[in-house]
């Protein structure tokens, strides 16, 4: 089955600097890669996603890149703000019927230092 | 419209008792997913439903865990003879169909087994 690894497990950056979180996946059939943000005690919220026919996607201060050959994808947050502090999870999903579940990474706790 | 709802929000039970957790997906969403999040951990897939059928039960940790969905809407996750290691937040998510990509999470049920 799919295996997703996520690094780093914790990340602290100064407010205004950029943050990068990286994930690798094992199943070359996976074709959908979402990123979720989870604030303390809250539900995971989808913040951005990318499909395998695209190499990069951007939404304001957030961008995701995908390298299908290397089977890795990354989340980039620019001009970080205190409200970006949260745990971020990457995930991968296979398109195969009967296997349509998300496999999550173990999470990155991002702390923005004011 | 209303998002995914779960009940109860918190459940404290004694070891050995059975518990039922409920998930009400977004109206019109035919796919429903159960995940488990242990303290400080990532999200572990348990089971998903497309309509009333469960194509993938591979994530259920033991035969003490079962889930059902009737009428293509509400789902219940049942844990029999609870153990302390069952303590976790149980999250439910739904998507329009199993082949749809975006999954939307409920607020979770925090289960504590004493």
Cα(B24)–Cα(B1) distance, rounded to whole angstroms? 13
pLDDT higher than 70, residue B109: yes
Which of B41, B58, B105 is closest, CB to CB, to A44?
A: B105
pLDDT attached to residue B1: 54
Q: What confidence tens digit (pLDDT) does each residue in B3-53 have? A: 999 999 999 999 999 999 999 999 999 999 999 998 877 899 999 998 888
Q: Phi and psi dihedrals of A83, rounded to 5? A: -70, -5
- Rounded Cα–Cα distance for residues B14 and A85 (Å): 35
Is B43's CB within 8 Å of A93's CB?
no
For residue A16 the two structure tokens come to: 């205004």
**pLDDT 10s digits, B52-98:** 888 778 889 999 999 999 888 999 999 999 999 999 999 999 998 77
Report the relative pairing of strands A56-59 and A62-67 from DSSP bridges: antiparallel
Residues of chain B whose C-beta is under 8 A from some C-beta in A?
Answer: 31, 33, 35, 41-45, 48, 50, 55-56, 58-59, 91, 98-99, 101-108
Distance CA B29, CA A62 (A): 28
pLDDT band for B108, please (50, 70, 90 cuts): very high
The two three-digit tokens of residue A64, written as one number: 């995701």
pLDDT at B99 over 80: no
Strands A19-25 and A32-38, sheet pairing:
unpaired
Residue B15 C-alpha from the chain's centroid: 20
Give per-residue burial for A74-84: e unless 16+ CB within 10 Å, then b: bbbbeebeeeb
Residue A106 pLDDT? 93
Mean pLDDT by 10 residues, chain A (114 residues): 93 98 94 94 93 90 96 97 97 78 93 96
Cβ–Cβ below 8 Å for A105 and B42: yes
pLDDT value at residue A52: 83
């Amino acid at each position: 089955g799919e295996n997703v690894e996520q690094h780093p497990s914790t990340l602290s950056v100064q407010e205004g600097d950029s943050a990068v979180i990286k994930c690798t996946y094992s199943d070359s059939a996976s074709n959908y890669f979402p990123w979720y943000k989870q604030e303390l005690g809250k539900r995971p919220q989808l913040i951005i996603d990318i499909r395998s026919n695209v190499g990069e996607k951007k939404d304001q201060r957030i961008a995701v890149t995908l390298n299908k050959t290397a089977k890795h994808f990354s989340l980039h947050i620019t001009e970080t703000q205190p409200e970006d502090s949260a745990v971020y999870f990457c995930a991968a999903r296979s398109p195969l019927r009967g296997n349509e579940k998300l496999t999550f990474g173990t999470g990155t706790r991002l702390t923005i230092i004011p | 419209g209303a998002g995914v709802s779960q009940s109860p929000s918190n459940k404290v039970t004694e070891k050995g008792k059975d518990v039922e957790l409920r998930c009400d997906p977004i109206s019109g969403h035919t796919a429903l997913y159960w995940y488990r999040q242990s303290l400080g951990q990532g999200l572990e897939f348990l089971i998903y439903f497309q309509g009333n059928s469960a194509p993938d039960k591979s994530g259920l940790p033991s035969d003490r865990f079962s889930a059902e969905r009737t009428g293509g809407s509400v789902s219940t996750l049942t844990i029999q003879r609870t153990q302390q290691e069952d303590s976790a937040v149980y999250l439910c998510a739904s998507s329009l169909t199993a082949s749809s990509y975006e999954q939307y999470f409920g607020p979770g049920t925090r289960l504590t087994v004493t």
